[in-house]
Chains A and B, each alone.
Chain A
Amino acid sequence: AQTVTQSQPEMSVQEAETVTLSCTYDTSESDYYLFWYKQPPSRQMILVIRQEAYKQQNATENRFSVNFQKAAKSFSLKISDSQLGDTAMYFCAFMKHGNFNKFYFGSGTKLNVKP
């Protein structure tokens, strides 16, 4: 079975600063995908960034980047130049390769960006 753990229930960061959200996972699979989803208050979850396990290069999307450590089963999200609009719940998620079915989600980290 796959498990995803987010050990930081809540974090705060000042606007324009950098913050890192942690995620670890446990799996016996060798090929899989990892995702970070963002859920703003009262809004739907939207994809922030995706990482394929077979790729060594860390994914980057504008101000969002990941630190993927496959051996350590760690997948952290770094948000640079934090903006007020980044305030949201952030979920780390795992999906097995070839399984277009389900995500395994972490419990989420609530990020507050302060002016």
Chain B
Amino acid sequence: EPEVTQTPSHQVTQMGQEVILRCVPISNHLYFYWYRQILGQKVEFLVSFYNNEISEKSEIFDDQFSVERPDGSNFTLKIRSTKLEDSAMYFCASSEYHKYEQYFGPGTRLTVT
């Protein structure tokens, strides 16, 4: 069964550094999402992406964040200058056109030191 994959599984970076988290959504899906979960807190929506543009973003998703679909398979989340509070589990998800079910990846644990 097709799955969403994410790399790396764990990323450690220093404060102020740029990180890129990578996701490969399911191939026929058209909607892509990023969520994050700070340890012990709720899973929070960051951004959704459709037709090569952001369709919705949360207040968390400020100018430090960007998303891109550089080719036909990858979907990336970039954090330009990481802060300690960016330490979290980041989940990528994808869904088919006009379908409500989202398929989640296993997550990337980002640790900012």
* Chain A residues engaging chain B, CB cutoff 8 angstroms: 4, 33, 35, 37, 42-47, 50, 91, 95, 100-108
Contacts and interface: CB of A to CB of B under 8 A. Distances in A.
Interface of B: 3-4, 31, 33, 35, 41-45, 48, 50, 55-56, 58, 91, 95, 98-102, 104-107
A106 B44 CA distance: 9
A100 B98 contact: yes
A105 B42 contact: yes
B106 A33 contact: no
Contacts, number: 54
A64 B42 CA distance: 23
B104 A45 contact: yes
B88 to A, nearest CB: 13
Contacts of B106: 42-44
Contact of A100 (B41, B42, B99): B99
B98 A44 contact: no
Listed residue (A37, A91, A103, A106) with the most chain B CB atoms within 10 angstroms of its CB: A103
